[in-house]
Structures are given as C-alpha cells and as structure tokens.
Amino acid sequence: EGSILLARTCFPDENLGGDKGHDKLDVAYIVFGDAVPSGVSEKTIDLQALKELGDRDSQSIPKGIGIG
C-alpha cells in the first residue's frame, strides 16, 4: 500500500488506485539494498536521514546506467 500512497502523493489529480495506475514513463523506483540510516527502524523514520542517503547514493545512478 506504500506504492499507492506514493503514487497518489506524486500524482494527486490522477485518481490512482488498485485498478488505475500511472501509465507514463516518468517514475523510477530505486532500491538502496540493505542501506538503512540511523533513525530508521520498524517504529521510527528519520526523513532527513533517508533524504541524505538517497541524495548520496543517487549520484551514482547516471554512471550505472551509462549516461554519466
């Protein structure tokens, strides 16, 4: 259900749900493997720590897909 929440947050005017998805190719899901910053657990989420991890690790994406 996290994907539905994410989709509705990113595209609030498209009335997305279980039977209606986002068709355009402008969304990328990136998995950071087992990297978990401090402050993130089953009971807490430190959004700033997640942002910093994403910002740092996403810098390697262009090179990884051959455009950098």
Model confidence, pTM: 0.47
Range of the domain at 50: 1-60
Domain-embedded: residue 8: yes
* Measured distance CA(58)–CA(53) in Å, rounded: 8
- How far is Cα 26 from Cα 5, in angstroms, rounded to an integer? 17
Total tally of structural domains belonging to the chain: 1
Instruction: Give the C-alpha separation, 57 to 41, whole Å.
Output: 19
In a domain, 6, yes or no: yes
Query: Residue 68: inside a domain, yes or no?
Result: no
The Cα-based distances of 34 to 15, 48, 53, 66, 67 in angstroms read 32, 18, 12, 24, 25
pLDDT at position 2 over 70: no
Assess if residue 21 is contained within a domain: yes
Confidence check: pLDDT of 68 > 70? no
Q: Tell me the pLDDT tens digit for each residue of 7-56.
A: 787 788 988 888 887 777 766 666 767 777 787 777 887 888 888 888 88
